[in-house]
Chains A and B, each alone.
Chain A
Amino acid sequence: AQSVAQPEDQVNVAEGNPLTVKCTYSVSGNPYLFWYVQYPNRGLQFLLKYITGDNLVKGSYGFEAEFNKSQTSFHLKKPSALVSDSALYFCAVRDGSNYQLIWGAGTKLIIKP
């Protein structure tokens, strides 16, 4: 069965430091992987996706994610965190057989000045 795990409920990072938000997945076929961000009282905003090709994917707001097939991971990264990056981040995966996304539980990212 398809699944997504975000092992950290919360990640705390000092402003200016690099950040990583972890995501691992399990699908039966080729994975389609996504990251979304949710600011308070808002809907989700699409950040980036991996479909095929380069393992390092670049997205909005300076974020990037690294696809690792052997570790079945798709970690979200940013070289230098901003206080405004503080939000809830969701990882999602779709296999090739349907249109729905399987969602992780979300990771709260807190960037401290």
Chain B
Amino acid sequence: EADIYQTPRYLVIGTGKKITLECSQTMGHDKMYWYQQDPGMELHLIHYSYGVNSTEKGDLSSESTVSRIRTEHFPLTLESARPSHTSQYLCASSALAGNSYEQYFGPGTRLTVT
């Protein structure tokens, strides 16, 4: 895996709590993404950003929000966690390299809401 970091790796939290999942990359990539993935299942894009102060919702409706104040940092926030938010959250980044935009992934945050 490339230089993209996610914290925490595992989080167990009660219903109604506010949480922020951190994602940082040191590659200077301008594009960043958040995916939601249930274990062993397909990836669903929930948010993406093509640069500082630019954020968009992805294909999967999500109650989370994101911000992109710095190029390297793309945190995801859940204002009020619910059991339905239990999943794995993967952060990725990409930039133009040889006419392609392969994405590089962090290790993921496995969230359990009780």
Chain A interfacial positions (CB closer than 8 Å to B):
32, 34, 36, 41-46, 49, 51-52, 88, 90, 94, 99-101, 103-106, 108
Asked if B40 and A46 sit within 8 Å, CB to CB, the answer is no
Chain B interfacial positions (CB closer than 8 Å to A):
1, 6, 31, 33, 40-43, 45, 48, 50, 90, 92, 94, 98-108, 110
Asked if A44 and B105 sit within 8 Å, CB to CB, the answer is yes
* CB < 8 Å A-B pair total: 56
Separation of A73 and B87 alpha carbons in the complex (Å): 31
Task: Give the interface centre of B41, B45, B50, B105 by most chain A CB atoms within 10 Å.
Answer: B105
Q: What A residues does B110 contact at CB under 8 A?
A: 41
- How far is the CB of A64 from the nearest CB of chain B, in Å? 17
- How far is the CB of A86 from the nearest CB of chain B, in Å? 13
Asked if B98 and A51 sit within 8 Å, CB to CB, the answer is yes
Asked if B40 and A105 sit within 8 Å, CB to CB, the answer is no
- How far is the CB of B22 from the nearest CB of chain A, in Å? 14
- A43-B90, A94-B100, A105-B41 known, 5 other contacts, Cβ within 8 Å: A43-B6, A44-B90, A44-B92, A99-B94, A106-B41
